[in-house]
Structure 1
Amino acid sequence: MTSLELPPGGTADFTEGEVYFIGNATTLIRFGGLTILTDPAFLHEGEHVFLGHGIWARREVEPACQVADLPPIDLVILSHYHGDHFDDVAARELDKALPIVSTADAVDKLNGLGFERGHALDTWESLEVHKGDATLTITAMPGKHATDDAVNDLLMPVNGHLLDFSRNGDQLYRLYITGDTMLVDDLEDIPRRYPDIDLGLIHTGGTTFLVTVVTMTGEQGVRAVEITKPRTAIPIHYNDFSVFLSGLDDFKKAASTSTTTTKFVYLAHGETYTFTPNG
């Protein structure tokens, strides 16, 4: 396992943490003195992003904030290198010295943009991040952008990520981010290897690529929750771009008939979920 040392700064709060929903898959996670930005995309409503292979998507919802509004960031966690997850605004305005954890494909492309502190993880590989008394272990989770192998080969490699927060060796909180995956068999391995997930951030939206769905629909997102078994689940990535065909209502409908014991929480852009660590 590789490690990353961050300079200590300020007083670390281990009594509670928060997830601030900026929009699409962009969130700000704060706990134990660590501030983590996920999948940074900040284009304004009405602007367009290039997704590759001649496909453009229009941003339909304004993000809750811009890069200039963010607090100091310790690191970025990126599912994959697509324009709705790392856009031109992020490339232009984020600090090039930020550590970015992602796929090898994304790290290589970001290096070409001047982001030279990339940390590439293959599935089940981990990076240990230290800041003061806090340790964050980031482990790449299985993900696949399409169930059709021919289509998947046209798309970027995808990681989900598991975030394990601990203090002086004591495990405090486990957070799972699906990334832009479909319902693949490897998801079944996650609860066997990593049980007791406290919170799941579930990428949905039913994104269409050509004629194929390449992110989970609302119904599939709920099934991913049933498989991975987080105590609480929050759907994200559900209405921000014109290529999304399965909105939040689809997820809510499926959740209302699910037999899972998971608690579902719904955030609008700009809202915050506050959590209390174990023990």
Structure 2
Amino acid sequence: MKYLTIDPTKAQHPTRDHTAQLPTSLPAEAKTLHHPTKPGSENASLYFVGTATTILYLKSHQHLKVLLIEHREWEGIRIMTDPVTGTRVTNPAFDLHELPRIDLVLLSHYHADHFDQEVEASLRRDLPIISTPHAKAHLATKPDGEAFTAVYDIGFFEEMFVDVKSAGETGGRKPGIKVIGMPGKHVPSGGFLGTANDIIKAVRILIYISGDTLLCPELQEIADRYSHLGIDLLLLHLGGTTVPSPSLPLLMITMDAKQGVELIRLVKPDVAIPIHYDDYDVFLSPLSDFEKAVKEAELEKKVVILDRKDKGSREINDRVPINCNVGITIHLRFKQALITILEY
């Protein structure tokens, strides 16, 4: 197993070209939702920024804090997935430089619609990133001082333990999360691309981020390994991405509505949230297709739609208003504490 330490008590800008003071929180969301069957007493939240970009906030668990780590201060951690802020059909809910402290980036794969040039140029070089070997090969070897210095790669079913450092740390039991590389196929069999996706695991808390994959036989092993433990949250990358374009759909390279429903049936999550479906012009399968398929499969109680029909506007650097996604936060309640107590 690989190891990484993050320090949420150290407030740093996630970007290196910031000009303003570090925000203490995310920009205000336009809408707040709750767990579809277990509202109240939430211990986590997911802020949907757009495409596959989300910010997962895992709160500390006060009961465990008192009993097991009472000498430690740990309010929670922020994990950002697949950061993209560049201009597209519909733009992100806020600008990259409006981000507060980010403790860890999970990058499903190194493609421009998941980690664009603007993000790559702006992010702080020592910001911890967990991704694929392909992503590390590109990010960690850039010349002229541009290399990212804290990129960690994991392969299929390879594990990385992330220790969460806290103020007043004196040793003993420590909170943390585990990230596990998941298999997937970005193109049908015989293609040349692949991706490792992510599960965040903490004390039987399982969050499966599908990444850009098609429904393929390799995903059965995910169900075999983890479904009996209970997957709490599934973030589904949908859209039925086609190449070269929806008007000439020669090849589909991400799940469409039908495959998304089948993955829900396969891994049986407590809650599934679709993302990655409308911000670019390469998507053939709209959100409405998935909503219809979910209803036909009678899975409405398992799925939360972060509907962004209401569009907002924001100003970019040259102060020109552009259409953008409305930030939406869903508050979640997981079965147990969102920290793993280990002794080592």
Q: TM-score range by the shorter chain?
A: 0.7 to 0.9
- Describe the superposition over 1:179-201 as per-residue Cα deviations: whole angstroms up to 9, x where unpaired: 00001101111122112000000
The equivalent residue for 2:236 is 202
One-letter amino acid of the counterpart of residue 160, structure 1: N
Secondary structure (helix, strand or coil) at the match of 2:179 reads strand
Which residues in structure 2 correspond to 1:224-243 (within 5 Å)? 224-243=263-282
Question: Which residue does the alignment assign to 2:159?
Answer: 126
1:156-195 matches, within 5 Å, as: 157-165=194-202, 171=203, 173-195=205-227
Percent sequence identity over matched residues?
38
Aligned counterpart, 1:17: 44
Three-state SS of the structure 1 residue aligned to 2:240 is strand
Query: 2:252 aligns to what?
Result: 213
Deviation, 1:221, is 1.0
Q: Tell me the residue number matched to 1:53.
A: none
Counterpart selection for 2:329 from 248, 251, 272: 272
Using CA pairs under 8 Å that are at least 6 residues apart, name the structure with larger relative contact order, 1 or 2: 2
Q: Give the secondary-structure state (helix, strand or coil) at the position aligned to 1:92.
A: helix
Shift of 1:213: 0.3
Verify the 8 A CA contact 1:221 1:251 in the aligned structure 2. Answer: yes
- After TM superposition, the structure 1 = structure 2 runs for residues 104-115 of structure 1, keeping only pairs within 5 Å, are 104-111=133-140, 112=142, 113-115=146-148
Code of the residue aligned with 1:221 in structure 2: it is G
Match of 1:62 in 2: 91
**Larger-gyration structure (1/2):** 2
**Shift, 1:92, TM fit:** 1.4
* Runs of 5+ consecutive residues of structure 2 not aligned to the other structure: 11-40, 60-75, 167-173, 245-249, 309-324, 337-344
Say yes or no: does 1:136 pair with 2:168: no
TM superposition shift of 1:231: 0.6
- CA deviations 1:224-247 (Å, max 9, x no partner) are 111111110000000010111111
Match of 1:39 in 2: 82
TM-score relative to the length of structure 2: 0.70
Partner residue, 1:248: 287
1:256 counterpart SS class:
helix
Structure with higher strand content = 1
CA deviation profile, 1:96-146 (whole Å, cap 9, x unmatched): 111111110011111225212111111000110011453110001111101
Q: Which residue of 1 aligns with 2:2?
A: 2
Match of 1:116 in 2: 149
Matches of 2:286 and 2:175, distance apart in 1: 36
Aligned counterpart in structure 1 of residue 262 of structure 2, from 219, 223, 229: 223
Letter in 2 for 1:120: D
What do you get for the CA RMSD once the two structures are aligned? Answer: 1.7
How many residues align structurally? 253
Q: Secondary structure at the match of 2:330?
A: strand
* Cα deviation, residue 277, structure 1: 2.3
Is the 8 Å Cα contact of residues 60 and 240 (structure 1) preserved in structure 2? yes
Mapped contact 2:53–2:82 kept (Cα < 8 A): yes
